[in-house]
Amino acid sequence: MPKEKKLTQCIPKIYKRNAENIGMFFWVRAQKDIIPTITIEQSIMKFFRFTGIDIDDWDIDCAKVTYCRLQDEFFEDCES
């Protein structure tokens, strides 16, 4: 993997992700703030239905892992 350019190092990692992942991350974060008892899986399923993404296109477990990675990156970037 090529070394990251100095210019792009200051951009938080979350903004370098694709639009679907960013949309899913912020959707789930907002759902969890509004409805604290909702599970990540339930919120992801609601995101799929809202956006019209076919459930067969994304695996729910993969989407959950992606969400957790984005969350870790988001909070890591917030700390620095």
Rounded percentage of the chain residues whose pLDDT exceeds 70? 74
* Rg value, the chain, Cα: 14
Contact by Cβ (8 Å): 18, 70: no
Tell me whether residue 1 is in a domain.
Answer: no
Residue 29 counted as domain residue? yes
Q: Is the pLDDT of residue 4 over 60?
A: no
- Does a structural domain hold residue 3? no
Instruction: Name the band, by pLDDT with cuts 50, 70 and 90, for residue 79.
Output: low
Say what the pLDDT of residue 30 is: 95
Burial of 71 (C-beta count, 10 Å sphere; 0-12/13-18/19+):
middle
DSSP label of 35: -
- Residue-level pLDDT at 57: 76
| Per-residue pLDDT reduced to its tens digit, 22-55 | 888 999 999 999 999 999 999 999 999 998 888 7
Looking at the structure of the chain, the number of domains it has is: 1
37 is in which domain, residue-wise?
Answer: 13-79
Q: How much is the pTM? A: 0.73
Could you tell me if residue 74 is inside a domain? yes
- Does a structural domain hold residue 25? yes
Write the CB contacts of 8 (distance below 8 Å, at least 6 apart in sequence): 16
